[in-house]
Chains A and B, each alone.
Chain A
Amino acid sequence: MKKQMVAMLLAGGQGTRLKELTYAVAKPAIPFGGKYRIIDFPLSNCTNSEIHTVGVLTQYQPHLLHQYIGLGTPWDLDRRNGGVTMLPPYAEADGIKWYDGTANAIYQNMKFLEAHQPEYVLILSGDHIYKMNYMLMLDFHIKQQADATISVIEVPWEEASRFGLMETDEDLQIKRFVEKPADPQTNLASMGVYIFNYQKLKEYLEKDAEAEDSSHDFGKDIIPAMLGGGEKLVAYPYKGYWKDVGTVESLWEANMDLLELDSGLVLHDSAWRIFSSNPQLPPQVVTSTCEIQESFVNEGCIIEGKVRRSIISQDVHIKEGAEIDECVVMAGTVVGAGAKIRRAILTPDLDIPANFELQKKDGEITLLTKETIEKWEGSGDDAFSGSN
Chain B
Amino acid sequence: MRLAAVIDATVTIPGLKELAMYRSSASIPFAGRYRLIDFALSNIVNSDINSVGVFASQQSVSLMDHIGKGKSWDLDRRRNGLYFLPTSQREGDQLSVGSFAALEDHLNFFNKSTQPHIVVTSAFSISQLDYNDMLEKHLASGADITEAVRDGECMKSYIVSKELLMKMIKGFREDRVVSVEDIVNLKKKPYTFAQYEYEGYFVLINSMESYFNESMALLNEITWRQLFLPERPIYTKVKDEPPTKYMKGSNVKRSLVANGSLLEGQVSDSILSRAVEIGKNSKLENCIIMQKCVIEENCDLLYVIADKDVRIKAGSVIHGTKEKPMVIRKGSVVFEGEDV
Task: Using CB atoms and an 8 Å cutoff, list the residues of chain A in contact with chain B.
Answer: 33-35, 74, 258-259, 267-268, 270, 273-276, 278, 280-288, 290-299, 302, 307, 311-313
Contacts and interface: CB of A to CB of B under 8 A. Distances in A.
B234 A290 contact: no
Given A268-B245, A268-B262, A284 B240 contact: no
Nearest to A75: B240
Contact of A286 (B227, B247, B253, B262): B253
Contacts of B240: 74, 273-276, 278
Contact of B33 (A286, A299, A311): A299
Contact of B242 (A274, A287, A302): A274
Contact of A293 (B250, B257, B275): B250
Contact of B233 (A274, A280, A295): A280
B254 A35 contact: no
A322 to B, nearest CB: 16
Given A278-B240, A296-B246, 7 more contacts: A33-B242, A74-B238, A258-B245, A286-B253, A287-B221, A288-B254, A297-B243
B235 interface: yes
* Contact count band on B: 35 or more
6 contacts: A34-B242, A268-B245, A268-B260, A274-B242, A282-B32, A283-B31
A283 B258 contact: yes
B243 A312 contact: yes
B234 A282 contact: yes
B243 A283 contact: no
A302 B221 contact: yes
A33 B241 CA distance: 12
Interface string B205-249: 000000000000001010010011000011110111011111111
Contact of A282 (B31, B238, B239, B251): B31
Contacts of B243: 33-35, 296-299, 311-313
A287 B218 CA distance: 12
* Chain B residues touching A, majority SS: loop
A293 B275 CA distance: 18
A381 B32 CA distance: 42
A298 B246 CA distance: 11
B260 A292 contact: no
A297 B272 CA distance: 13
A285 B244 contact: no
Contacts of B221: 285, 287, 302
B286 interface: no
B256 interface: yes
Closest 9 CB pairs of A and B: A283-B32, A267-B242, A298-B243, A34-B243, A282-B228, A283-B258, A296-B243, A288-B254, A292-B246
Interface of B: 31-33, 72, 219, 221, 224, 227-228, 233-236, 238-240, 242-260, 262, 268, 271-272, 275
Nearest to B233: A280
A7 B252 CA distance: 43
A337 B250 CA distance: 23
B254 A286 contact: yes
Contact of A278 (B228, B238, B246, B252): B238
Contacts of A311: 243
Nearest to B251: A291
Nearest to B256: A283
Given A281-B233, A282-B224, A297 B246 contact: yes
A149 to B, nearest CB: 30
A340 B271 CA distance: 29
A11 B22 CA distance: 46
Nearest to B224: A285
A372 B262 CA distance: 34
A286 B221 CA distance: 9
A293 B253 CA distance: 12
A112 to B, nearest CB: 28
B233 to A, nearest CB: 5
A293 B246 CA distance: 6
Given A267-B242, A312-B243, A299 B253 contact: no
Contact of A292 (B252, B271, B272): B252
Contacts of B239: 278
A276 B234 CA distance: 18
Given A286-B257, A292-B252, A299-B258, A35 B33 contact: no
B235 A280 contact: yes
Contacts of A296: 242-246
Contacts of B246: 292-297, 307
A259 B242 CA distance: 13
A336 B247 CA distance: 25
A308 to B, nearest CB: 10
Given A280-B236, A281-B233, A283-B256, A292 B31 contact: no
Contacts of A312: 243
Among A282, A287, A297, A302, find the residue whose CB has the most chain B CB atoms closer than 10 A. A282
B203 to A, nearest CB: 15
A192 B173 CA distance: 72
Contacts of B260: 268
A313 B268 CA distance: 22
Contacts of A297: 243-244, 246, 257
B261 to A, nearest CB: 9
